[in-house]
Structure 1
């Protein structure tokens, strides 16, 4: 069952788990599970995705319960009327706050959701970020005797495919667990230390005008258990008082943590 965060007669929001596609795509032709079909079967009616969320990313995902509502929500995304908050763990220590303004080429999957015509050339793309916490671990992952990581809040102003992941790679702070734009040695270090094999990126909050009433509303998702466990073991939970976080670390992961930090 997909966790439902909000539902009325016009729209529905779910907490999409990591490793689930929103809809069928030729880029992952062998996948058989999709949020669109799972949710349709779960609630017994057709649903229409209003935006995209990468397969590897967890968090808030909005659907219209009819094509017109989905279209209105999609237009709100395009008009930048929807404020999105993401959380990520990245390699290195970025600035305390910043804005990444770096044009990105549109990718094939954009056409699958928004039509057949994809604009040529790089498109304007902006992402704001705020560093929430840092840590330095005694790992010799690269050529240095220790490795730095940070917990970062992100607000993508535009909505290009893989925008946050590509932007963080652009500033040399790739997301941990990103097999496409990240660093394999750091990904493997986190997998071995924390038993987590996913992209550590989640959309935890969306604020937007209701497509019918116009009333301002906020939909929030809890941090997924595997992501939350890593945050807890890095002693970062105290920085997330504005988010819906709950966590009880398994004993096995507590043992792993002690081995890392000794």
Structure 2
């Protein structure tokens, strides 16, 4: 149902929109969900209020939704207003013609400046809320990690990275980061600590330090090059500045 939830709309035309989703907001309710609480407050609820028309390709639960972001991940997400645009965008994602770039802060120091992880991803059969790279029947997934900054801080070593993904599997960056032995800060599901030692409690994150920062694609209807960016949210920028204080930085 439509809900009057504020949206940060970075681009809108008659075919599509690009939204800067906050962390903590689910994209849509899960299949079979009957709990009123879980059916409210989602991106879909907000979209239904703000836009007169959305595509039907994704079904009743996912009007307009072409791709997803995890609940605790912020950043750019594409929304289709009509079925033709939705199908064309879906085909572009399948052909890897949409460039998606994320910013993430990882625990530890990545040794190489550029690292590509090509490990298949599947559901963890024991812990069903997790994904894993350890099953042979996983789906192909490719993530490119590029080091922006290495920090040695009183709270430990960290690496700020830019991550470009070729595929869009569930928890892809998070599980690939874990496979490197460097979980995303705040991502307790994949091995990050709940609290950062020595950091003020107010600055400890209640979300993952993962942000969909950049989206680049050719508009499927007009052919216009689209290039959109969203800066780090305040809570991530504040956290980063806090650990940079009294740290030694290795570019």
Provide the TM-score with structure 1 as the length reference.
0.77
Q: Please name the residue that 1:88 is paired with.
A: 104
Deviations 1:105-145 (A, max 9, x none): 168xxxxxxxxxxxx92111110011111112224xxxxxx
RMSD of aligned Cα (Å)? 2.6
| 2:195–2:204 CA contact under 8 A, matched in 1 | no
Conservation of the 8 A alpha-carbon contact between 1:166 and 1:181: yes
1:100 is aligned, of 117, 123, 139, to 117
Number of corresponding residues: 221
Aligned residue for 1:56? 72
Which of 17, 39, 47 is the equivalent residue of 2:47?
39
Distance 2:198 2:163 in 1: 24
> Shift of the alpha carbon at 1:215?
2.2
Cα distance between partner residues in 2 of 1:40 and 1:129: 35
Residue 192 of structure 2 corresponds to: 183
**Aligned equivalent of 1:123:** 139
2:109 and 2:78 mapped to 1: Cα distance? Answer: 32
What's the CA shift for 1:182? 2.8
Show the counterpart of 1:252: none
The answer to which of 164-173 and 23-32 deviates more is 23-32
Alignment partner of 1:16 is 2:15? no
| Residue in structure 2 matched with residue 116 of structure 1 by the alignment | none
Tell me if 1:233 matches 2:250: no
Structure 2 unaligned residues grouped into runs of 5+ = 1-5, 55-62, 125-135
Query: Can you give the 5+ residue segments of structure 1 that lack an aligned partner in the other structure?
Result: 108-119, 140-146, 236-256
Structure with bigger helix share is 1
User: Does the CA-based 8 Å contact 1:58-1:201 persist in structure 2?
Assistant: yes
Deviation at 1:189, TM superposition (A): 6.3
User: 8 Å contact 1:64–1:70 — kept in the other structure?
Assistant: yes
Counterparts of 1:61-210 in structure 2 under 5 Å?
61-94=77-110, 95-105=112-122, 121-139=137-155, 147-185=156-194, 192=201, 194-210=203-219
Corresponding residue for residue 220 of structure 1: 229
Residue of structure 1 in register with 2:220 after alignment: 211
TM-aligned CA deviation for residue 192 of structure 1:
2.6
Aligned partner (choices 2, 5, 10) of residue 10 of structure 2: 5
CA deviation vs aligned residue, 1:166-220 (integer Å, no higher than 9, x gap): 0000110100111211322555766736243111000011100101122221121
CA shift at 1:43, angstroms?
3.2
8 Å CA contact 2:196, 2:204 repeated in 1: no
TM-score (norm 2): 0.80
Q: 1:191 to 1:138 in 2, by over 3 A?
A: closer
Question: How many Å separate the matches in 1 of 2:199 and 2:95?
Answer: 37
Alpha-carbon distance in 2 for matches of 1:8, 1:123: 34
More displaced stretch, 159-168 vs 176-185: 176-185
CA contact (8 A) 2:16 2:81 kept: yes
